[in-house]
Amino acid sequence: MVRTVSGQPGRIPGSEGPASPAGRRGLARGAVPGGRGARQRAAVFIRRHRLTPYALLLPSAVAIGLLLFWPTLQIGEFSLQNYGIPQVTGTAPTQWVGAANFTATLSDPEFWLSLRISVIFAAVVVPLTLVTGTLVGLLLNRLGPKMSTFVSSTAMLAWATPAVSASVIFIWLTDPDGGVVDWTLTKLPSWLGGGPHWAGFSWTNSALPVYTLLTVLVLWQGFPFVAVTVLAGLKTIPVELHESARVDGGGAWRIFWRVTYPLLKPIFLVLLLLSVIWDFGVFTQAYLLTGELGNRDEYNLGIYAYDRAFTMPPSYGVGSALALILTVILLIITVGYVRASVRQGAIH
Amino acid sequence: MRLRSRTLRRAGLNALGVLVALVTLFPILWMVSTAFKPAVEIYSLTPHPFPAHPTLGNFRSVIDGKVIGLPYWTFLKNSLFVTLVSVVASTMISLLAAIAVARFRFRFRTSYLIMLLIVQMLPQQAMVIVLFLDFRSLGLLDNLLGLILVYTAFSLPVTIWMLRNFVAAVPREMEEAAAIDGAGPMRIFWRIMLPLVAPGLVATSVFAFIFAWNEFIFALTFLGTDYAKYTLPIYVTYFYGRGTVDWGSIMAASTLFTIPVMIFFLIVQRRMTSGLVAGAVKG
């Protein structure tokens, strides 16, 4: 999924304050033009009971309810069941197995390995993305308008590259036969870590190299969003603040921590939480880089859940239990994100 | 002296900017350049940044679909169909919802907005398991309609939030003036609201487009062995991991899949980023 922020407050004027009575009436009056009889009676009913907003929300509520809300509840339901091929084909009834799926999961060393990989990956990639993105954002702010547009356009291209394309590109770049990365590493002088031992080095055969690769890939796709968001934040800081700080004799480092960071703190908080959610749950890139369910010791939590659910023989119950664990972890972080957004005034 | 140090600093910053741009562009350039290279150059012992003898052979084999037995157009058509239908559906549905939350005060309004924020974060790899089972019993697997339903619903939380800001930016006074002049609500909607939120509709559809065009997990899981139903992301990965890996074809397929999004994206980039980022900052 494309990385975006949706829940942030708009700077667009007029978005605050209560709805004026005229505006409310303006759209509420008779939702159905012309037409007599039943349609008009329905329109009158909707208007009299102030149902217009609910009628407008109905299509989205139905779609979200059926395809997002209800399935989330089903994850909970299936996680307590023994759900495999016989249950799907109807040759055996659904069996409630209580917490068996969870106890089986928690006693599986592969689960703990995948959880550890997900946690460590997020702990490494999130700070890298935030620092790189912030530095590029600060750079963009110092560049002239043309240069700034050029650099941010190239960054947006990396951001817009589909996860599938980005993954196959990075697999090709690091291919042991003909990949440009291995070739470059063999040519590097040895004091830079290069040397002939890099020839034919496989980046996807064990967890450390593959997650190093995934780190670079996710950083490449993730920093532009941080950079552009930080840049937008920097534009809101009055120039005088920075100037007076410089006159007072502050270096760039000092000015950032004394002036910029405190002012942009809410933005950094939101970026931090979003990055944690995205990088902890990274799937497509990790799935393709680890060889499409090829190496069990390279699974992160999402791939492990997917594998348990779908690899023959499928065990949708255990998969759902894992999906529930993943969802709960992400929801806990999301609560932090929602609270940060509310505090920032996103919901008005 | 002062002037010189300023020019130097400017040059340094520009050099840094060019460096960032080059590093960022490198993987994309390498994809396109590999797509035009003949096999001899792709597997050469010393890789070169640009093809010495550019060829269209890789593109031809992708478009003929020799590997999978179906021409590229089949998958392009599937992807376009799924993407366009879900973009239109989610944009229309989210416009209605955005008007509701931006123009009316009602009970559960705040709860609805918070619900959208939470639902937006639900991990797709968790949802795909139950939706696979549900769609299986509904006969929606190996069916493009199933993907359209999922893409429409999953883009809604973001598209509603995006459009909400644009709807809220339409001055109420204009609607009020039209109402005083005797315009009905439908007329106000068509004549005032719709033209003014048009840029927002563009930004929103671009988001929904990119989401549906790029989506991988659901397509991978729902489209089984029926190649004729594959969307482009699944076609791109089909090459990969099938015996001998033909990087020329993979990069050509990936180029054909990626470039349209990028062009589309660059055209609307400014509007898109201001629409997305508008948000991240409180003025």
pLDDT tens, residue by residue, A268-282: 888 898 899 889 989
> Do B153 and A66 lie within an 8 Å CB cutoff?
yes
Minimal Cα–Cα distance from B167 to chain A, Å?
8
The ipTM value here is 0.88
Integer CA distances (angstroms), A74 to A67, A304, B118, in order:
11, 19, 17
> Do A232 and B281 lie within an 8 Å CB cutoff?
yes
B7-60 pLDDT, tens digit per residue, is 888 899 999 999 999 999 999 999 999 999 998 888 887 888 889 889 999 999
The larger pLDDT score, comparing residue A261 to residue B277, is at: A261
Query: Which residues of chain B make contact with A56, given a CB cutoff of 8 A?
Result: 96-97, 99-100, 104
Q: Look at residue A62 in the predicted model and tell me its pLDDT.
A: 95
Structure tokens at B136: 């299986």
User: Is residue A10 scored above 60 in pLDDT?
Assistant: no
- Window 161-220 of B: residues touching A by CB (8 A cutoff) are 161-162, 164-166, 168-172, 175-176, 178-179, 184-186, 188-189, 207, 210-211, 213-217
At A173, which amino acid appears?
L
Mutate to test the interface with A, among B20, B48, B129 (most CBs of A within 10 A): B129
The closest alpha carbon to A141, from A213, A263, A235, A249, belongs to A235
Q: Cα(A117)–Cα(A297) distance, rounded to whole angstroms?
A: 10
CA dihedral B199, B178, B112, A2 (to 10 degrees): 0
Q: How far, in whole angstroms, is CA B47 from its chain's centroid?
A: 32
In DSSP terms, A81 is beta-bridged to A96
From A8-17, A271-280, B105-114, B232-241, the region with the lowest mean pLDDT: A8-17
* Residue A142 at interface with chain B, using a CB cutoff of 8 Å: yes
Torsion-angle region of B182 (φ positive above 0: left; ψ -120 to 50: alpha; else: beta): left
Q: Look at residue A61 in the predicted model and tell me its pLDDT.
A: 94
Q: Look at residue A36 in the predicted model and tell me its pLDDT.
A: 62
Of the partner residues B118, B133, B262, the one whose CB lies closest to the CB of residue A316: B133
From A22-36, A148-162, B199-213, the region with the lowest mean pLDDT: A22-36
Of the partner residues B30, B241, B262, the one whose CB lies closest to the CB of residue A157: B262
Torsion-angle region of A178 (φ positive above 0: left; ψ -120 to 50: alpha; else: beta): left
Q: Cα(A316)–Cα(B132) distance, rounded to whole angstroms?
A: 10
- As a whole-number percent, the residues of chain A with pLDDT over 70 amount to 89
Minimal Cα–Cα distance from B123 to chain A, Å?
6
> Do B176 and A26 lie within an 8 Å CB cutoff?
yes
Residue B30's SS3 state is: helix
* Residue A83 at interface with chain B, using a CB cutoff of 8 Å: yes
Q: Look at residue B282 in the predicted model and tell me its pLDDT.
A: 33
> Do B124 and A88 lie within an 8 Å CB cutoff?
no
Query: Which residues of chain B make contact with A156, given a CB cutoff of 8 A?
Result: 265-266, 269, 273
The closest alpha carbon to A339, from A273, A277, A278, belongs to A273
Of the partner residues A5, A59, A338, the one whose CB lies closest to the CB of residue B280: A5
Q: What's the topology of domain A100-344?
A: MetI-like fold (1.10.3720)
User: Is residue A8 scored above 50 in pLDDT?
Assistant: no
* Residue A14 at interface with chain B, using a CB cutoff of 8 Å: yes
User: Is residue A29 scored above 60 in pLDDT?
Assistant: no
Q: Cα(B59)–Cα(A162) distance, rounded to whole angstroms?
A: 19
Other CB atoms closer than 10 Å to residue A51's CB: what's the count?
Answer: 16
Residues near A149 by Cβ (< 8 Å), separated by ≥ 6?
A: none
At A100, which amino acid appears?
A
Query: Which residues of chain A make contact with B245, given a CB cutoff of 8 A?
Result: 175
Q: B160 near B97, Cβ under 8 Å?
A: yes
* Residue A347 at interface with chain B, using a CB cutoff of 8 Å: yes
- E strands in B62-120: none
- Structure confidence at residue B241 as a pLDDT band (50, 70, 90): low
Domain limits of chain A? 18-47, 100-344
Tracing tokens 């068509």 back to the chain, one arrives at B190
B182-196 pLDDT, tens digit per residue, is 888 888 888 888 888
* Residue B226 at interface with chain A, using a CB cutoff of 8 Å: no
